[in-house]
């Protein structure tokens, strides 16, 4: 179950305004899930990176851009999850976690491949994966990193962040000596934000896994190869300050991080911007699976249209659409080896799959301005007869908004291709929904959907 490693915080100030840093900081916990990192990794990395940037004398827009680049360095991480799972024949979240802990030498990567590839797969699948990696490792790793970096940069732009933030995220996996991926650029040609983000990532990954001495050893070991040596020297001086490492474990670290954002630079989020943020994270969610491109936006659109037919007001529909777009955010915490499995899930896999609904509720519940939609979004697998999940709610306690999202989600899932079956026709999908009316799904919602189809608003 997802839980923040820090105290609950609300993404709005006492005036009711929503601050961008706090909203995106809360969403960063979902990115940590996707990367298999302990909760709060992005927050801690941002704290480290911002301390380095301030020690360099950066302020204003430059400091703000470093701040967001490090906080959101993993925006593209879901885009290569399925590829990692396929190529390494395993759980992408565990593979990504362990990959960040390998040493900087080529033989370290070789040892990782030998010990991590296909460990839970059949001997045949493991052998095939090992052979493929051996023969095509350069192409595969370049593709995996390029997907992550380019998608992350694109989503940063969708979040209305600066081009400097986008470029910093695009350069996250480049190395000072030119040995990084996907571009192989070196030295100061790597965006400063990317250099700081990689340093902060290395520090926190090794600190949380093995302690401060291990983190310092890795910084020294990678200075001049992976990492900018001047940044490493600056970080070492910072790390000698009394309480530096202890601050990373403080319960109120998120609030301290928000306070580091330049006061003159912090951005309040209005309703239109909040819509854009939801759509952007819809792209993050859908990137987790090659077969769900556009699913979040389509569910949002269908839910909005159903609600309009049912007479829901514009303001309520706006909240509903956001909840519908984010209903699957919990899937970022589920391995692609499960999401992409073409056959039937076993009991343990099915339990993991089911956990995504509760994860959705927990993730959105971390975001003060979105907390009112957390239960709505997380209840999309509940049934009127009480046989759904995660809470077993029934018709007495399932909100109309959740019922709408359920119908929209099922319809879109049935009418698009999935790993285990081809897309159904609209007629067949509606027949299935109608057969479940009154037991699983709400009759008025199904009837509203049928009206949309009859009006030609849906195919």
Catalytic residue among 73, 331, 387, 428, which?
331
Question: Per DSSP, what are the bridge partners of residue 421?
Answer: 418
Q: Which helix (H) or strand (E) holds 358?
A: helix 347-365
Catalytic, 331? Answer yes
Torsion of CA 85, 151, 415, 453, to 10 degrees: 160
CB 42 within 8 A of CB 28: yes
Q: Which helix (H) or strand (E) holds 19?
A: strand 18-19
Distance CA(445)–CA(46), nearest Å, equals 43
14 Cβ contact list (under 8 Å, min separation 6): none
Residues in the chain: 459
Distances (CA, A) of 459 to 310, 418, 423, 450, 454: 20, 18, 12, 11, 9
129: its two tokens: 């994966």
CB 133 within 8 A of CB 158: no
Burial (CB count <10 Å: 0-12, 13-18, 19+), residue 125: middle
Distance CA(154)–CA(167), nearest Å, equals 10
Q: Which residues are catalytic?
A: 331
């Amino acid at each position: 179950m997802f839980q923040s490693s820090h105290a609950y915080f609300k993404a709005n100030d006492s005036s009711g305004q929503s601050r961008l840093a706090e909203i995106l900081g809360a969403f960063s916990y979902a990115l940590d899930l996707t990367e298999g990192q302990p909760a709060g990794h992005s927050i801690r990395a941002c704290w480290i990176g911002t301390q380095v940037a301030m020690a360099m004398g950066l302020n204003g827009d430059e400091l703000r851009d470093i701040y967001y680049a490090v906080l959101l360095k993993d925006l593209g991480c879901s885009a290569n999850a399925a590829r990692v799972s396929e190529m390494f024949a395993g759980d992408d979240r565990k593979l990504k976690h362990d990959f960040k802990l390998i040493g900087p030498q080529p033989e370290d990567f070789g040892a990782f491949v030998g010990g991590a590839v296909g460990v839970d797969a059949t001997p045949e699948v493991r052998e095939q994966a090992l052979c493929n990696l051996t023969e095509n490792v350069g192409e595969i790793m370049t593709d995996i990193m390029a997907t992550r970096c380019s998608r992350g940069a694109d989503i940063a732009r969708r979040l209305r962040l600066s081009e400097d933030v986008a470029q910093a995220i695009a350069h996250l996996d480049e190395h000072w000596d030119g040995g990084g991926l996907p571009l192989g650029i070196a030295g100061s040609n790597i965006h400063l934000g990317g250099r700081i983000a990689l340093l902060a990532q290395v520090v926190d990954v090794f600190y949380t896994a093995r302690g401060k001495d291990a983190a310092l050893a890795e910084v020294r070991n990678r200075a001049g190869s992976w990492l900018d040596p001047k940044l490493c020297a600056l970080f070492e001086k910072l790390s000698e300050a009394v309480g530096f490492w202890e601050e990373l474990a403080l319960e109120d670290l998120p609030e301290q991080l928000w306070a580091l954002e330049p006061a003159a630079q912090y951005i309040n989020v209005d309703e239109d911007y909040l819509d854009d943020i939801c759509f952007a994270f819809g792209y993050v969610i859908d990137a987790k699976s090659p077969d769900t491109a556009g699913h979040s936006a389509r569910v949002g659109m269908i839910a909005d249209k159903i609600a309009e037919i049912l007479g829901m007001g514009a303001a309520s529909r706006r909240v509903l659409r956001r909840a519908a777009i984010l209903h699957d955010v919990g899937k970022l915490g589920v391995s692609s080896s499960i999401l992409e499995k073409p056959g039937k899930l076993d009991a343990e896999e099915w339990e993991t799959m089911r956990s995504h609904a509760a994860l959705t509720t927990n993730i959105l519940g971390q975001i003060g301005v979105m907390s009112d939609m957390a239960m709505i979004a997380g209840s999309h697998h509940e049934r009127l007869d009480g046989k759904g999940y995660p809470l077993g709610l029934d018709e007495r306690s399932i909100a109309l908004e959740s019922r709408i999202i359920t119908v929209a989600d099922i319809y879109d899932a049935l009418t698009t291709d999935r790993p285990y079956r081809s897309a159904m026709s609209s007629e067949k999908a509606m027949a299935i929904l109608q057969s479940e009316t009154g037991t699983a799904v709400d009759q008025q919602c199904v009837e509203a959907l049928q009206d949309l189809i009859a009006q030609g608003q849906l195919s």
